[in-house]
Structure 1
Amino acid sequence: MKTILFSADFTESTTLALDWAKLFARHYKATLVLLHVQQIPMANTTLPMSGDVGMGAYNAGLTAELEPIDRERLDKLATQLRAEGLTCETELRWGAVTDAIVTAADDLHADLIITGRSHLGNFFERFVGTEATGVARRAHCPVLVVPTTGTGVARLRTILFSTPLEFDQPAEFTQVVAMARAFGATLSVLHIHAENQPSIADKPTMIAQLQALYGDQPLAVSSLDSRTVTGGFETYLKTNQPDLLVMTNRERDFLSGLLNPSLTERMVVLTDIPILVYHAQGDL
């Protein structure tokens, strides 16, 4: 891992997420890029405008006023992190937050995106999800989503790898095994057999493949039946609290649904645990 992109929005969601960013940057000796996305202000017909109104004009004056403020905040944070011994760069972009983060990650060849996830405080947020869930759906590299309602400590002692056991996951699981060993963390696997999800693959064979990738030591695998995937997670997490939950899926629709709390209010329980999302490609 060479480059970590950290989404700094300077809200409460930044604090704990930044601790995780520092943890990974220190461990992998990676460059930490602090990205702040300055959203284009809504059009205001009483102020000078620029741009094509038909395409969505923006208030150029307000954008110009905010730019030096945001740059100063980024520089201040970068200076602080460099004083802590981290290699740090800054990046200021404009536009829609999700689009800007995903594009920046591609442009910078980021190996990992780390972003905070704020409390889902209103109906609209519960219905459409947050910017963090949008990044997790669309990014082309792994994304670590850190909730504001976590333990308050960035640590990696226990890792839970969640798998549907419906397709091969050698690349993703191998990376997680390497991460667990690098941090000296305990790794376990969770499979939830849900009534609303297909069950096609040979489960014993899939588990044997994971064990082969894990090595000679027995791999702890938990399987449970549940009406829904989210319900299964809720049941498991009542008595198990890993430091990190790892999820991977080839089907973006399934991943989107799993990360979107609108599926069930009970899914919000997962926001207490940082979630590392892998896609079909992406290497740590």
Structure 2
Amino acid sequence: MTTIKIFGERDAATRHLRENVALALSSFPLNSRVLEVSEPNTIRADGVANTPALMLDGDVVVEGRVPTVEEITRIFQNRFLYKSKLFRLRSVMVPVDISEPSANALLFAWHLAKKFEAKIEVIHAMDSIFEGGLPSASGFLAGYKKTVQAELDDFIKTTLEKIGVTYGPPAQTPPAPKNGEETSEPAIKSTVLYGFPEEVIEEQSQKNDLIVMGTTGRGGVARNLFGSVSTEVSHIAHCPVLFVPAEATFNGFHNVLYASNFDSLDALRIKQVLTFIQRLGARMHFVHVGPAGEEGLELERKLFEVNYEHAGAEYPFIFNKMVGDDVIEQLNDYAFQHRIDLMVFVTHQRSFWETLLHKSITRKAVLGAGLPVLVMHSDDDMLK
């Protein structure tokens, strides 16, 4: 059953919202219950800052205005999309190892968080009391953690200074907008946690909507995209993961390559990616990867087209097929020729991405492309 909450102070705007919700339900019936919340403390406790507001299954979908009946109907029709992590994108996690590659990932995360009005959580995992910095003078673990925390905050401060952003821990809340800006700078929280990086990142990914991490780091080959940590994260994360090469520079995303085989033709994932790139103002390049003589491509193109049109994309998508064994190498060639800014891999089963990861040509080609790679899986926890 879908729970619909209407927040307001029993004024004309709230009554208007209630009427529009009723009309939307009459045109698109849902197994639902509608609750009205008017008590100020309860409204704030539910995370609503401006009324009237509309909440769907615990997620605020409209705030500070009265949506039209048509808009509410679309929200009901796409209610699963509104629950997806990539769509709501409220919290971005950046695992760092105090290296230049992770600094670059932090810069990418900051720009995305700014665009989507999300908060940033920077984490550093200590899998050894002597990893990541100098031990404290006392030699005790608690003292050492304090030393690493100071090193982490200094790392964040130095990194953000490159783009003219001032960071002063604890920075739990964003500063007020300046000179009429529509959005303020993202709130940033830094945390040092004990544990192996893979385990820490997996646990923290459950409460974040996107992970942004570098493809190389202090551990060299053992800590790059195709090494132990990042490869494991690409398999076990409970949210999408954006891998950022050390040499990549954030200039926005204008052309996005959606790499697919038949397993990745998932309507909900397509809509998630489409709404994500629409908010970035990007164009979608849908590129099928598979062997020569493969059947079903026309059906795949039509299915993708239906989902694309339903999402109301601004630009027409571009459909292409890549044939051959060295799939990633061909994708990199396509990316170079079409000025691709981001590659997206969405798979119904993790075996497709896993197969790519374990080919030596893949490792060389993707790292050589110097492009960010967004990895998503068709898992239920991507919708929590």
* Fold conserved between structures, TM > 0.5: yes
Change in 2 beyond 3 A, CA 1:230/1:280: same
Correspondence for 2:192 among 80, 92, 99:
92
Q: 1:12 maps to what in 2?
A: 100
Change in 2 beyond 3 A, CA 1:149/1:238: same
Change in 2 beyond 3 A, CA 1:256/1:223: same
Q: 1:50 maps to what in 2?
A: none
Q: 2:55 maps to what in 1?
A: none
Correspondence for 1:172 among 269, 274, 279:
269
Q: State the TM-score, normalizing by the size of structure 2.
A: 0.60
Following superposition, the deviation at residue 231 of structure 1 comes to 3.4
Secondary structure of the residue aligned to 1:79 is coil
Q: 1:204 maps to what in 2?
A: 298
* Structure 2 residue 342 is matched with structure 1 residue 237: no
Secondary structure of the residue aligned to 2:121 is strand
CA distance in 1, matches of 2:374, 2:330: 18
Question: How many pairs align?
Answer: 261
| Aligned-pair Cα RMSD in Å | 3.1
Change in 2 beyond 3 A, CA 1:260/1:125: farther
Q: Deviations over 1:208-240 (max 9, x none)?
A: 111111117642111121123233324323423
Secondary structure of the residue aligned to 1:86 is coil
- Indicate conservation of the 8 Å contact 2:259/2:286, yes or no: yes
Q: 1:191 maps to what in 2?
A: 288
Following superposition, the deviation at residue 269 of structure 1 comes to 4.2
Q: 1:69 maps to what in 2?
A: 147
Change in 2 beyond 3 A, CA 1:260/1:92: farther
* Percent of pairs with identical residues: 21
CA distance in 2, matches of 1:167, 1:213: 13
Q: Which has the higher contact order (CA 8 A, sep 6+)?
A: 1
Q: State the TM-score, normalizing by the size of structure 1.
A: 0.79
Name stretches of at least 5 consecutive residues in structure 1 with no aligned partner.
43-59
* Structure 2 residue 235 is matched with structure 1 residue 137: yes
* Structure 2 residue 128 is matched with structure 1 residue 40: yes
- Indicate conservation of the 8 Å contact 1:156/1:185, yes or no: yes
Indicate the structure (1 or 2) with the bigger Cα radius of gyration.
2
Change in 2 beyond 3 A, CA 1:234/1:132: same
Change in 2 beyond 3 A, CA 1:32/1:122: closer
Secondary structure of the residue aligned to 1:278 is strand
Q: Deviations over 1:73-121 (max 9, x none)?
A: 3444352775682212222211111111111112xx1111111111799
CA distance in 1, matches of 2:297, 2:307: 16
CA distance in 1, matches of 2:110, 2:306: 32
Q: Which amino acid aligns with 2:283?
A: T
